[in-house]
Amino acid sequence: MDEGERLKAENQALRTRIAGLTEAILRMNEALDVDAVLQEVVDGARSLTGARYGAVTTIDEAGEFQHLVVSGVTEEEQRGMLETPNGWGIFRHLSGLREPLRARDCVEHLASAGFPGLQPPIGAFLGLQIREGERHVGHICLGMEPGGQEFTEADEET
């Protein structure tokens, strides 16, 4: 592929990403319910990055969880994850991270942090804080199938 073709492909990829962001923003503006907006956020993030799994949490001023909205998991998988002894602990751990986290293997990363046996098994992982000014108000997590592609810096920026 010559330089001109590479630049055209890169330009098209950026246009597609911008169109996806615009579409997600418009859908969020249509929703009045917080859970519906959060669902649009996590669904849009999955769509834009190609992620298999997604979750978004919000926290109140005391640092307590207000909302958990998931995408790409069955109700049974969600129940299984939250009913494990470490279920909410995983979300507390991830929401406490100050810097974005991109990991090649989420199960391995969480096991090294004291959270073994993550279900469903997740391969590559991307986790980011949601901030309102200087205040931490939530966290978004995205995951790939085990053995799937890794998240990129462009995914993190999006």
pLDDT of residue 19: 65
Alpha-helical (H) ranges within 1-144 are 3-30, 34-49, 75-83, 87-95, 106-112
Q: State which amino acid sits at residue 77.
A: E
Dump pLDDT digits (tens) for 124-136. Answer: 999 998 888 888 8
pLDDT of residue 52: 94
Pick from 144, 156, 50: which is nearest to 106 by CA? 144
Q: Does 23 or 106 have the greater pLDDT score?
A: 106
Using 50, 70 and 90 to split pLDDT, how confident is the model at 144? very high
Dump pLDDT digits (tens) for 38-94. Answer: 998 899 999 989 999 999 999 888 888 888 899 998 888 888 777 777 778 888 888
Range of lowest pLDDT (4-8, 27-31, 113-117, 121-125) = 27-31
What is the model's pTM?
0.76
pLDDT at 29 over 90: no
The count of other CB atoms within 10 Å of the CB of residue 153 is: 9
Using 50, 70 and 90 to split pLDDT, how confident is the model at 142? very high
